[in-house]
Structure formats: structure tokens, C-alpha cells
Chains A and B, each alone.
Chain A
Amino acid sequence: MTSVTTSAPPRKTRRAKAPPERREWTGLAFVLPFLAVFVFAIVAPLFYAVYLSFFQDRLVGGSFFAGFANYAQALTDPLLHVGLGRVLLFFAVQVPIMLGLGLFAALAIDSGRLRAKGAFRITLFLPYAVPSVVAALMWGYMYGNEFGLIRQIGDAIGVATPDLLSASWVLVAIGNIVTWSFVGYNMLILYSSLRSIPTELYEAAEIDGAGAIRTAFSIKLPALRPALLLTTIFSVIGSFQLFNEPNVLRALAPTTISSYFTPNMYAYNLAFNGQQYNYSAAVAIIVGAVTVVVAALAQRLSRAGEK
């Protein structure tokens, strides 16, 4: 930490026509306020978590150095594996659907074949304003198998609706909440990216006589690759950090949503219900590492696709 702060800029740099090496330090001055908060609020707790993960603290007997024992335990912990597998499945199914819908909406709004596209754009984005806790509470009411809105509608039109909070459906139910919240958000990122495709490309396509759909595939999609990568990376992070939605729904489905339903919930319950702060830190660090690896794989795949 100290090494960063001691390298603060000398004051004399604020002169006109600063030579490059002086301006270097000015640059650091711009970054320093952010760095100070970043180190204090993220880096220091992170290193503290790493430190904690090398100890064990018992209700009887107190704290002692444990080396990599927590990591060894976590790597073979079936409960962690189940959680990781579940968020991977979630990622593999929910994210393509969400991004697919977002992409479709972005292309549709961008196509110019839609009336009142401004209204569509802002309306699809509105659910993003709903805090995930509130979104989960709301959808929880609607999912209720006895009295929820979905059941009421099913009954009204004579269709048997499944129990959305049962073991076989609950992941779908959670996926729906996340999709609902973030489709508009992803749509906007993709749409903004589409808006910045230079006109010449379209003109060239028009000369070629390409139709709307061919234009979409040959010009828009390749141009969207970076934006799609960005939204995918965000979705990887979002999937692996899944917490609020299942945690709120747990009040309605106490056995289908276990205390280790997602790795994040597992880490939370270890720390706060089991007082296993140290083990929890190790679990959280492993989850972070897996997230990095999956994000990197997504990056690799995207690169490979480009060639």
C-alpha cells in the first residue's frame, strides 16, 4: 500500500509545456483520488480476506494458522461444487437467452422498421430501475403456487401452471427475474454500439444490394462483437455472484433453495450462520478465481471467433 502512496507527484509539475516525463506524474495525480478509495475499500479488504483464509478460528480453542487447509477443504467440498455447477448451468442457459433477447430488441429498434422505437427503448430499460431485492419480492408474490398471479392467470384460462418454486423450476424462476431485470440494460449497451457503426458500411452494403437480414448478419453482428463480449463478461460476473434473488426467494422455498444454492450464498452462510469466516474467505477467493477463468475463456472464444 505504502509503495503507491509514496510515489505521489511532486508539486512542481503544473507548468506549461511540461515535458512528457513530467506529465506522467500529473497523470498519476488524476488517478490518485480513485486509487486511494479503491485501495481502501477494495484492495485492503481483499488482502485481508486472503490473510483470513490462511487461519482457522474455532468456537472452542480460538484461532490458529492453518496454511492451505481451508483451500484444500474447499477444493473437495461437494457443497461448493454443487453451487458452482448450478451457476455454470445458469450461465449457460440464462445468459444466452437474456443476451439473445437483448440483441433481438437492439436490432429491432435499430432496424428502423418499428414505430415509437424511443418508447420501446426506454420501457424495456425500466426494470433496471427496480432493485433486485424488490424485484425478487415482487416476482415471489407472482410465483406463489397457491395464490400467485401466474397461477391466477393459469386458472383463468384453464392451463395448469407448474409450481415455479419447486426443485425442477426454481432455477428457471430465478433466471426469469434476472432476465427481466437486465434485458433492457443489455439491449441498451448493444443498441448504443449499433448506433456507432459508421454509415459507409451501410452504404456499401446497400450498393451490394444486401437485404435487412443480410445486413444484420454481415455488418451489424461483427460490429457488435466487442459489445457482446462486454455484456457476456458482465453476465459471467453476475451469474457467479448470484445472491439477492435466491436469497429472497428462500423465504418461500426453504428446501428447494438450500443454504449453498449458489457459491455466494454458501460463502455468506458459512460466515454469518456458521462463524466460519476463514473458510468463507477461502471459498469466496476460489469463486473469484473461477470467475476470472470463465471470463477469460469467454474472451478467448470471442478472439477465436474473430479469426
Chain B
Amino acid sequence: MRITRARGAAVTAAALTLTLTLAACSGGSDGGSSDGGGGGDVTAADIDAALDAEGTTTLQYWSWVPNLQPTVDLWNEAHPNIQVELTNAGQSADQYTKLQNAIKAGSGAPDLAQIEYFALPQFALGESLVSLDDVGLSDLESDFTASAWEQVAAGDGHYAFPQDTGPMVMFYRADILERLGVEAPTTWDEFLTVARAIKADNPENFIASIDPGDAGGVDSLIWQAEGRPFSVEGTDVNISFGDEGTQKFAELWDTLISEQLVDVAGGWNDAFWRSLDSGRYAMWMTGAWAPGSLETNIPSTAGSWKAATMPVWEAGTPANAENGGSGTAVLAKSENKAAALAFARWLSTDSEAVQAQVDAGLFPSTSSIMADTDFLGATSDFFGGQAVNEVFVQASKDVSSGWQYLPFQVYANSVFGDTAGQAFSNATPIADGLTAWQDQITTYGNGQGFKVTND
């Protein structure tokens, strides 16, 4: 049953006809992102009115924050007229993919979604989210820490209610440092010294690991070094890893990697936890949301951990960065915007709600709880009785301002491992790797209609 070439041509012709028919049918209506947006038709008064509205509204809410259901239950009990259905639609990038697909398809998107700060500008740019400024909620600024409020800003608006933040903290194994007779480092110079001491003690061990696939972690370290590689003004984007802060970071980590003082390995997997468990890694520098993960993943190390603010570049000049954290955004296409805004506002500002989320392991974003003496004084057995929240709050206050994410950061992060990550894995100069990353995302940005420069 050989099909001759002539018949093959006939198949092709038929295919083309069908294609054109389909093309005519769908009429290019899948642009999706051009209409909607803004949400200017809702006012603060509407939001308050929604709380007392008759009938029952059901809100769809996507979030992968662990143990969030009890907090949502609190709301549902108090508001029989606005019931919130919580769905875990996947972790981070998986959820953004689904959200982006649903927005593109024009149906299936929830009323609200948890969106990490790095991904927020992308959704805000597509006018997929309600701007809090458009609905008269800009006065919420005073409720949140400065860095949290700055991180929900994109373009000319604020597009989410800050839910949790992740000021960088240095978690370290006090037992290991004590055995070696060294103090916890307060500067990066001291960090290098301690790292060499750990290596000298046992060449199999490392002071910490760095994940060559995790753009977020590297971004935070650059931010903490006062590097500001991304700047965005509307659709004008500048990407440059040539600034002084980025270079300082790159040189230090070149040294750490070439002397094999840090392990270049993926995070969050079985081997990572085992390394923290066994003392193969002595530290983990990450967001203040980490204690819950440490306690549940490596309970056997309870009591030997301590938390401290990050090593700084210049002694006496505190500087810090955020790592992770997310906000609750209301979708512009939601038919229940007022009710959704009311819930999201409650979730981020109500003291009972915030406390419930803190109990679930999140590090908060509201300024009031940061001054709460009960919160500050709480001690943790896992950290040997240390009042860790004091450290975390200080870390939060130290966060330096002016950091921006790209309006295509989700893509940028997805190719980090292909470019910059290669430098970490192959112990080649990090600056070169960052340049490769810069080139690729510049090409992408220009291809997507942005005006990208590398100044």
C-alpha cells in the first residue's frame, strides 16, 4: 500500500484547505490579553459592600502555600456569603503555566491566585491582574513592610496583596562551627575564612551549596551585594550584569567554587536534605520562610541550628535582599472582583489571618506583626531556644530597595541553568555565564516586543 507522490501531494493540498478553513473559523481571537485589566470599575466601597452582600458568592483561589486550608476555613466560617475554594494547582512555575494558559484560553482561571513576586510583573504587564491603586486600596501601603509593598509594584500600579516575604537569613549548624572553634561569619570575608576552615577540617564537607538551576537564589545574592541588573520602565528594559555589585558577587563565588568550598548542586531534593542532615553542608542561606522546611525535613538535627543575618560586604553596613515570597492577586477577568478583593485584603491584613499563616510557617509581610512583642519573643527549640523572629525582622528591615524583576522573569529563570548555571557547574568565570544569560534574555525580550538595552 504505497502512496504515490501524486497522492501525497493531494494529501498536502487537502491539509492546506483544512488549515485555511480552521484559520478562518478561529479568526485570531486568541490574543486574550488585550481586553480586560485594570479593574477600575470596582471601588473600595464596593469591596466593603461585598462583605454584606446577600446570596452566596464562591471564589476560586489557587495557592500552593502549605497548610493554608485552616486560614481559609477561618474566613469561610465568618463569611457564609463569600465562600473560598482553595486549590493547589501546582508548585510555582507549574501554576503559572496553568494560569497563563487559562488566561490565554479565556476560561478556567480562578478569581484569585498566589503569585511569587518575581512572576508578578509578567502577569501585570498582560493586564491580567487588578491593580490595587485602581480600586482605591493604595492606602494599604502603611500596613506592609516597605520591601513587601515595593515588590508588588509593577509599572504604575500595585498588583497583589503581599502575603509573605523571604528576607535572606543565614541558617547555620552551631554545633559544627563550635567544634571548629569559629564564629558565625558577619562579613563575606569572614565567610570565606570559615569556608576554608570547614574544608581544611574535612575535604568532603562544604560550608553551603549553590543551586546552579535556581535563578532566584543567585538574584538574591546579587541584590544583597547591591547589584541591580534589571531595570524596567514600561516596555523599555535594561539588563546588565556589568555593575559593581554583580561583579563583587561573581568574584567571591568564583573563588568559593574554584576552591570547592561550596557544593554546586541542585537544592530541595533528597540529596540536599541528607547533606544538611549529615553536616556535609554547614549552612543554608535562604529566605526567612525556611525554618518550617528544616524542621519537617531534618527533624533529627533539632537544637543544633542557629539563625543570623546575612554576611555583609562592608562591616557595619547592613544590606539584605529578599528570597521568594508571594502576593495574592485578583484576576482582572474575575466576575467577583469585589468579593475577591475583600478576601485577599483580609488574608494579608487581618491579624487573626496573618497569625494563622505564621503558624503555618510563613514569614509575614505586615508591619504590625513585626513590632509585636509576642512574635519577636517567640523562641524555637529547633534553634536551641533562640528568638529567631528577632533575627528575621532585622533581616527584613535591612532589605535594600530598588530591586526590579523583568516582565519576562519566568522565561529568564527557565533558561538560567542553560547559561549562567553552566558557569557554576563547570567552574568557569561566573561573569561570563551571566553574560551568556544576559544575551539570551535580551534576544528574547526584543523578540517579544520590548526595547531591551544592555547599558
Q: Point out residues on A near B: beta carbons under 8 Å.
A: 1, 44, 47-48, 50-51, 55, 57-63, 141, 144-148, 167, 250-256, 258-260, 269, 272-275, 277
Contacts and interface: CB of A to CB of B under 8 A. Distances in A.
A258 B417 contact: yes
Contacts of A50: 15, 19
Nearest to B423: A255
B444 to A, nearest CB: 7
B121 to A, nearest CB: 11
B454 to A, nearest CB: 18
A147 B274 contact: yes
Contact of B31 (A44, A47, A63, A253): A63
B271 A144 contact: yes
21 contacts: A47-B18, A48-B22, A58-B448, A59-B122, A59-B125, A60-B448, A60-B450, A61-B449, A144-B269, A250-B213, A251-B266, A252-B266, A252-B269, A254-B213, A258-B418, A259-B418, A269-B414, A272-B100, A273-B93, A273-B97, A277-B104
B97 A272 contact: yes
A69 B407 CA distance: 25
A1 B18 contact: yes
Nearest to A39: B18
A275 B411 contact: yes
Contact of A59 (B15, B23, B407, B415): B407
B316 interface: no
Nearest to A58: B449
Contact of A47 (B19, B214, B275, B447): B19
Nearest to B433: A255
A170 to B, nearest CB: 12
Given A146-B275, A256-B425, A259-B415, A60 B18 contact: no
Contact of A255 (B97, B122, B213, B407): B213
B373 interface: no
B398 interface: no
Contacts of B450: 59-60
A146 B424 CA distance: 19
Interface footprint category on B: 35 or more
A51 B26 contact: yes
A31 to B, nearest CB: 16
A275 B270 contact: no
Contact of B424 (A253, A255, A260, A272): A255
B22 A44 contact: yes
A251 B269 contact: yes
Given A255-B424, A272-B97, A141 B414 contact: no
Interface in B418-455: 418, 421-422, 424-425, 444, 447-450
A63 to B, nearest CB: 5
B211 interface: yes
Contacts of A62: 31, 33-34
B418 A260 contact: yes
Interface centre among B122, B235, B266 (most CB of A within 10 A): B266
B414 A274 contact: yes
A302 B386 CA distance: 72
Interface string B1-43: 0000000000000010011011100101011011000000000
Nearest to A50: B19
B212 interface: yes
Nearest to B101: A272
A254 B444 contact: no
Interface in B258-306: 266, 268-271, 274-275, 280
Contacts of A61: 449
Contacts of B411: 273-275
A55 B214 CA distance: 32
Contacts of A55: 28
B408 interface: yes
A256 B424 CA distance: 11
Given A63-B31, A144-B271, A273-B411, 8 more contacts: A44-B22, A59-B408, A252-B269, A254-B214, A255-B421, A255-B424, A258-B418, A274-B411
Nearest to A64: B28
B266 A63 contact: no
Contact of A147 (B104, B214, B271, B408): B271
B362 interface: no
A259 B22 contact: no
Contacts of A260: 418
Given A62-B34, A146-B274, A275-B411, A47 B22 contact: yes
Contacts of B422: 255
A148 B30 CA distance: 47
A50 B21 CA distance: 12
A258 B418 CA distance: 5
Given A258-B418, A273-B414, A275-B100, A252 B26 contact: no
Contacts of A60: 125, 235, 448-450
A58 B447 contact: yes
Contacts of A141: 270
A60 B127 CA distance: 11
B414 A146 contact: no
B15 to A, nearest CB: 7
B112 interface: no
B370 interface: no
Contacts of B407: 59
Contacts of B26: 48, 51
A147 B449 contact: no
B216 interface: no
Contacts of B18: 1, 47
B207 interface: no
Interface centre among B15, B18, B424 (most CB of A within 10 A): B18
Contact of A259 (B31, B274, B414): B414
B448 A59 contact: yes
A55 B30 CA distance: 11
B447 A63 contact: no
B410 interface: yes
Nearest to B424: A255
B31 A57 contact: yes
Nearest to A52: B30
A-B interface, 8 closest residue pairs, ranked by CB to CB distance from nearest: A254-B213, A60-B449, A273-B414, A58-B449, A61-B449, A255-B425, A255-B421, A59-B448
Given A59-B126, A59-B407, A259-B414, A144 B270 contact: yes
A57 B213 CA distance: 28
Given A57-B31, A58-B449, A147-B274, A254 B415 contact: no
A96 B125 CA distance: 50
Nearest to B273: A147
Given A48-B22, A59-B450, A259 B269 contact: no
Contacts of A58: 447-449
Contacts of B93: 273
